[in-house]
Amino acid sequence: MRLKDVKVHIVSVPLKEAIHWTWQIIPITAFDFVVVEVRDEEGNAGYSALYDGVSSKELLMKYKMFIEGIVKWALTSVEFEPRDLHRIASICTHHYMRIGFLEAAVWDLMARREGKPLCKLLGGCRKRVKVYASMGRLVDVDMAKRHIDWYLKQGIDIVKVRFHRPDPMEDVKVLKELKKIYGSSVRFAVDANQALAVFPPFWDRWTALRVAEELYQLEVLWLEEPLYREDVEGYVWLRSKSRVAIAGGEAEYGLSNVLRRIDVGMYDIVQYDATLDNGVYEALTIANYTALKGLKYLAHAWNPGLGWLINLHITASLPEHLSPYIETPLDPSWFWEEVMFAVCDKEPPKIVDGYVEIGDEPGTGYSISSEKIKKFSIS
C-alpha cells in the first residue's frame, strides 16, 4: 500500500485541577499528547495517539516535524507492506524517536479498508475485555477509597496503585488499610515506576524483595517495574525469589531486545505497549512469544483514547487466558470522561460490569473530531 497523507496534531487539553502523577517531577495543568492521522489514496483514514510520559510540548513538536518530514515523505513516496512498517519504526527508535503509534494508525486504516474491527483483522475478536483501574498518583486511604468506591460502581474489581513514597513501607501501610476495608471484593496490583525513574526514591534489589514479600501476604496480583530497566540480573534474581508476580516491559523497545529479556526470565507478566513502543506487529509477536513461554501479556495502556483503543483491540485479539485485562487510566475519575477522549468523535466506551464492549465498527471504531482537534490543537 501507499499513503497519501500523514498529519500530526499536537494537542493540549486543560485540566480542571493540577495532577501530579508519580512518574513526573512536577504537577501538570494540561494533558499534552500527539495525535497522528494517516490516509490512503482512496480516502480511508486511520488514527492513533501517544502520550510520552513527560508532557513536553517541545518534544511533541519534534514528533510533528520528524513525522511530517522524512517519515511522511517515505510513506507517501513508495509502496510498502504494512507488516514491514515495524522496521521503519525500529529504525526511527534507534536513530531518533519512537513512532510505533504511527505504525498502529496504519493498522487502524487497514481495518477500516477491510470493513472489520481492528481486533478481527488481527486474527481474533473477543466481544468484551475486562478493565482494571490504573491509578497514577500517590493517594492516602481516604482518597483511594473515594476512587475505589467509584470503580466498584462500574463493576471494576482490580485496582493498580502506585508506590513512590520515600519509605515504601509507608506505601505498604496504605495498601494494608485498603485491604482491611475491601477484603476480597477488590484485587490489587502495585506499580513502583522504577524502570525509568529519574528522581528518588530509587529501589535496590533488597528493597524490591522486601516489598514483594509484603505484597505476597496481601495477595497482590503483581508488582510492576520494581527495579531500574538496566538491572536485568536484578530482575532475574528478584523473580527467582519473589512469590508475587513481577511485571514490566513498557519501557522497552526493539523486538530482539524484548524477546531476550523474556528469555532470561525477567518477567512473569509482559507489559508491552504498541503505541509507546514499536507498534502493532511487534506487540503481537511479543504476545505470541509470551504465550509460548507460559507467561501473561497485559498491555501497558496509559494512553490518550485513540492510543488506548489500539491496545484494547490487540488485547481483544488475544486469548483471554493470555491477556485477561486492559489497563485503563481512571485517576482522577473525571480524567477518563473529560480528557482521554477529548478529541474523539464519540464519547468514551462505557464500562459496564467491569468490562468494555468491542463494537462492530471498522478499525477501532473511533475517529478524530475536526471541531475538537481545532479546539485543543496547538500545532
Instruction: Estimate to the nearest angstrom the gap between the alpha carbon of 289 and the chain centroid.
Output: 19
Residue 5, phi then psi, degrees to nearest 5: -155, 150
Place of cell 471498522: 362
- For residues 13 and 155, membership in a common domain is answered with no
Of the candidates 266, 190, 177, the residue with the CA atom closest to the CA atom of residue 230? 266
Q: What is the pLDDT of residue 238?
A: 98
For residues 376 and 374, give the distance between their C-alpha atoms in angstroms, rounded to a whole number.
6
- For residues 246 and 300, membership in a common domain is answered with yes
Burial class of residue 201 (count of CB atoms within 10 Å of its CB; 0-12, 13-18, 19+): middle
The grid cell for 38 is 494517516
Which residues share a beta bridge with 246? 223
- For residues 195 and 330, membership in a common domain is answered with yes
For residues 193 and 330, give the distance between their C-alpha atoms in angstroms, rounded to a whole number.
17
Q: What is the pLDDT of residues 296-351, one digit of tens each?
A: 999 999 999 999 999 999 999 999 999 999 999 999 989 998 999 999 999 999 99
DSSP 116-176: SBHHHHTT---SEEEEEEE--S---HHHHHHHHHHHHHTT--EEEEE--SSSHHHHHHHHH
Q: Is residue 250 in some structural domain?
A: yes
List of residues 6+ apart from 206 with CB closer than 8 A: none
pLDDT at 56 over 80: no
- For residues 105 and 136, membership in a common domain is answered with no
- For residues 197 and 280, membership in a common domain is answered with yes
- For residues 166 and 109, membership in a common domain is answered with no
- For residues 243 and 265, membership in a common domain is answered with yes
Q: What is the pLDDT of residue 197?
A: 84
CB atoms within 10 A of CB 139: 18
Q: Is residue 363 in some structural domain?
A: no
- For residues 93 and 128, membership in a common domain is answered with no
Q: Is residue 348 in some structural domain?
A: yes
For residues 60 and 33, give the distance between their C-alpha atoms in angstroms, rounded to a whole number.
7
- For residues 131 and 49, membership in a common domain is answered with no
Q: Is residue 347 in some structural domain?
A: yes
For residues 171 and 135, give the distance between their C-alpha atoms in angstroms, rounded to a whole number.
14
Cβ atoms of residues 349 and 143 within 8 Å: no
For residues 107 and 111, give the distance between their C-alpha atoms in angstroms, rounded to a whole number.
6
Mean local confidence (pLDDT), 47-63: 82
The domain that holds 101 is classified in CATH as 3.30.390.10
Q: What is the pLDDT of residue 1?
A: 83
Q: Which residue has the higher pLDDT, 62 or 327?
A: 327
The domain that holds 318 is classified in CATH as 3.20.20.120
Q: What is the pLDDT of residues 228-280, one digit of tens each?
A: 999 999 999 999 999 999 999 998 888 999 999 999 999 999 999 999 988 99
Domain range for 20 = 3-116+368-376
Q: Is residue 292 in some structural domain?
A: yes
Q: What is the pLDDT of residue 123?
A: 94
- For residues 87 and 130, membership in a common domain is answered with no
- For residues 310 and 334, membership in a common domain is answered with yes
CB atoms within 10 A of CB 314: 28
Q: Is residue 245 in some structural domain?
A: yes
Alpha-carbon distance values, 209 to 23, 187, 235 (Å): 21, 20, 10
Buried b (16+ CB within 10 A) or exposed e, 213-250: ebbeeeebbbbbbbbbbebeebbbbbbeebebbbbbbb
Cβ atoms of residues 214 and 53 within 8 Å: no
Mean local confidence (pLDDT), 361-365: 98
Q: Is residue 282 in some structural domain?
A: yes
Prediction pTM value: 0.96
Could you give the number of structural domains in the chain?
2
Q: Is residue 362 in some structural domain?
A: no
- For residues 135 and 216, membership in a common domain is answered with yes
Q: pLDDT-based confidence at 185, cuts 50/70/90?
A: very high
3-state secondary structure at position 272: coil
Q: What is the pLDDT of residues 63-112, one digit of tens each?
A: 898 889 888 888 898 888 877 887 777 766 655 677 889 999 999 999 99
User: Among residues of the chain, what percentage have pLDDT more than 90?
Assistant: 82
Q: What is the pLDDT of residue 374?
A: 96
Q: What is the pLDDT of residues 117-165, one digit of tens each?
A: 999 999 998 999 999 999 999 999 999 999 999 999 999 999 999 999 9
Mean local confidence (pLDDT), 187-200: 93
Q: What is the pLDDT of residue 54?
A: 67
